[in-house]
Structure 1
């Protein structure tokens, strides 16, 4: 039996009636969080370029483009646009196993198909769990080499999560799902060289679009090489390389705890690259103890994070608000002087305040190789000689060990969505969190137009 067949069989074994309530609760929260951050990101300029390139105005469809003023598109185009919006602000949920963002490539596919086909919430939640399990379990056997080689796992592995989720929503059988996964092998892409640019969120829209396309063409009889993963010129050998992956680790333990439960899904508290969150949290511990630190009173800031994290967050002179989301120097300085990281901090016109611009040359970041790859350390030397130090180990967000409450998630959703949904934002979040398996999703999704009701 080929790898794609083995993976399809395991994916198809996930069933709504055997999923624990905790997994369904996490899925509801993933729907709410992904939609919320997508609404916040729905005015990203790159979305206009994508809509125009796809000529959506000339080919409208039945699926809501979240926060885009009432426009609708085909399921494929909606997956592309909503998937890009979900990652536009780098505020979407995280998986430490995946080294990336599990819901952003999957939720737009699931909800597009639910809206188009009138599917209930239970079917969508089953599909979400299936997609996340596939992409994170692939990561078990591919990371960290896959990530360190320069691939963006949210896209390169997320495409398979999108494929598996779409297969469940479309009721594909095991053979069709095998084919869909093999098709998706040729549709995986996403390079870390484009981090800090609008191309990074487009990776996610592309993964959602391509995963859905793979499932759709498989349903219509497309064929593909079932050995597309393990072939000499297949996914494993080309994307990782001989000796750098473990297929057995991917296929084993599917009868054990779900990945969505352990190590689980982490919801982002800070709207920026997760690899900088430990440094931010260390800085906030200093603020909690000492109060806000005036920029002019800081002589030097020294930051240490794992070299794997520093590789793409060592940006001492960010050139734009988006670039600043990946600058551990900017983010740490901002946390120390402002006491929090907000969406407004990345506005291109004002992200680099005179105080921060003057402080950044005094910020140094170095890498470590400690066993805890999430540990971040911050040391602040003040002009009067005082020294403040703190450390933190944040696994990309608020996960099972430090969960964000439903009330906190609602606050985040409202902050993200109020500009698009107005006073109805909190009610829509509550509706997602209260979804029953038999609840139809289409009426709720139709409210995400960005036109206040």
Structure 2
């Protein structure tokens, strides 16, 4: 272990310039932001987001930070939290492989909130975004998979460091101040996997954005934490990890980039359900059988599939987004897997619920989280099987730029945001040349 790990990471953030970022990483940053605004526009009118916005307004300190898809204008801390919540609330946001961290929401929400309160160019924001994602994902890699397995919600716990790093970069903090921002972030890192399927899960992601922003602002004013917030004997990595791999944080900085291990979802569910849904949609295509003909549905996949999605006793749409039982039933029954298929109404459909008990899991560690097999046994004794080795949206089958643009258009309509999608899409692809990055928020709000 390098004793100055936190400082080494801080020095990397301080010295890295836009010219150091390869062209393919720059492009991926744009793609991540297109997806971010898409999922935020979908979540903007969610009832739980609306409840949070109403409550936050009571504590609004004033300011000019907009809420994506909404009319409210708030201070940047509240805006950062709400926008991160909107991006995460439908489990439709991006996913870093293999940590299963959703990297964009905490970092982008914090950055755009700041960009509405001080001059920030598109290039500045993009550079800070790339670095923030790098920080949170490297920290996550150092403690994965044990961290998530122990019940920590990795987007919330590690996302706060990414947001702090990104904001620190825009503020021009030096390496010492950045270590201070990491220390402040370490005091606010929290989030539990137990919250999956509830609004509290997205509150943790909102806190990561808000508290990361706060951590950097405090460090700018000389409010700092410990000298070794990451690697210290009681620092984040040792407390939140079992046998942390410190090299994951420091080795290859500036050579391999976390954004290139980022993926985008074609379906609004936990990422481990993507291959299952794809297989079910393929099986449902041109089907000649009925749901009552099914005796047993067997899902073979990575153990994480069962651990995170074996949820037959769900009651709400939000819970269905992490329920294999519902994902299988609705995909087979309707041949679709959009947000409407994971709503409260879909969960209350007794025809679908009748299939839940017929779903069974087979753990196979040889499967990646991006692969699965669905095997249907019918009352007649016949069997249909579909194996997905590489699911749509995975690293080996990435969504196209055009797909992400259509996702933004579709989700803007779904969220009833009133936002005009095309000007926002055009501005996102042109962000590198923009002199005012905060202008995008005005395009994305009412």
TM-score range, shorter chain: over 0.9
Q: Is the 8 A contact 1:98 1:154 kept in 2?
A: no
Structure 2 residue aligned with 1:410:
405
Could you list the per-position Cα deviations for residues 336-360 of structure 1 after superposition, in whole angstroms to 9, with x for gaps in the alignment? 2222211111221343322202222
Structure 1 residue aligned with 2:173:
172
**How far off its partner does 1:226 sit?**
1.0
Q: Is the 8 A contact 2:93 2:265 kept in 1?
A: yes
For the residue of structure 1 that corresponds to 2:90, the secondary structure is coil
Could you list the per-position Cα deviations for residues 95-149 of structure 1 after superposition, in whole angstroms to 9, with x for gaps in the alignment? 1133221101111111111222131111111011001111111122211111111
Structure 1 residue aligned with 2:306:
310
2: CA distance, partners of 1:41 / 1:404: 21
Moved more, 301-310 or 49-58: 49-58
For the residue of structure 1 that corresponds to 2:374, the secondary structure is strand
Q: 1:234 to 1:442 in 2, by over 3 A?
A: closer
Q: Is 2:200 the counterpart of 1:199?
A: yes
For the residue of structure 1 that corresponds to 2:307, the secondary structure is helix
Q: Is 2:19 the counterpart of 1:17?
A: yes
Q: 1:47 to 1:148 in 2, by over 3 A?
A: same
Structure 2 residue aligned with 1:359:
355
Moved more, 100-109 or 53-62: 53-62
Q: Is the 8 A contact 1:105 1:204 kept in 2?
A: yes
Structure 2 residue aligned with 1:296:
292
2: CA distance, partners of 1:84 / 1:187: 17
Q: 1:156 to 1:286 in 2, by over 3 A?
A: same
Q: Is the 8 A contact 2:156 2:204 kept in 1?
A: yes
2: CA distance, partners of 1:310 / 1:170: 43
Structure 2 residue aligned with 1:61:
63
Q: 1:269 to 1:126 in 2, by over 3 A?
A: same
Moved more, 1-10 or 103-112: 1-10
For the residue of structure 2 that corresponds to 1:157, the secondary structure is helix
Match of 2:334 among 330, 334, 338: 338
Structure 1 residue aligned with 2:233:
232
Unaligned runs of 5+ in 2: none
Residue pairs, 1:13-412, within 5 angstroms = 13-56=15-58, 59-68=61-70, 70-241=71-242, 244-261=243-260, 264-288=261-285, 290-291=286-287, 294-370=290-366, 372-394=368-390, 398-412=393-407
Q: Is the 8 A contact 2:266 2:393 kept in 1?
A: yes
For the residue of structure 2 that corresponds to 1:364, the secondary structure is strand
Cα RMSD (Å) of the superposition? 2.0
1: CA distance, partners of 2:444 / 2:161: 26
**How far off its partner does 1:423 sit?**
7.2
**How far off its partner does 1:33 sit?**
1.0
TM-score, length of structure 1 as denominator length: 0.92
For the residue of structure 2 that corresponds to 1:357, the secondary structure is helix
Could you list the per-position Cα deviations for residues 3-44 of structure 1 after superposition, in whole angstroms to 9, with x for gaps in the alignment? 211121122343212212222211112112111111111122
1: CA distance, partners of 2:13 / 2:364: 37
**How far off its partner does 1:384 sit?**
3.0
Could you list the per-position Cα deviations for residues 332-391 of structure 1 after superposition, in whole angstroms to 9, with x for gaps in the alignment? 222222222111112213433222022222222232222634431110112333211112
Q: Is the 8 A contact 1:81 1:205 kept in 2?
A: yes
TM-score, length of structure 2 as denominator length: 0.94
2: CA distance, partners of 1:46 / 1:293: 38
Aligned residue-pair number:
443
Q: Is the 8 A contact 1:4 1:182 kept in 2?
A: no
1: CA distance, partners of 2:140 / 2:289: 40
Q: 1:335 to 1:221 in 2, by over 3 A?
A: same
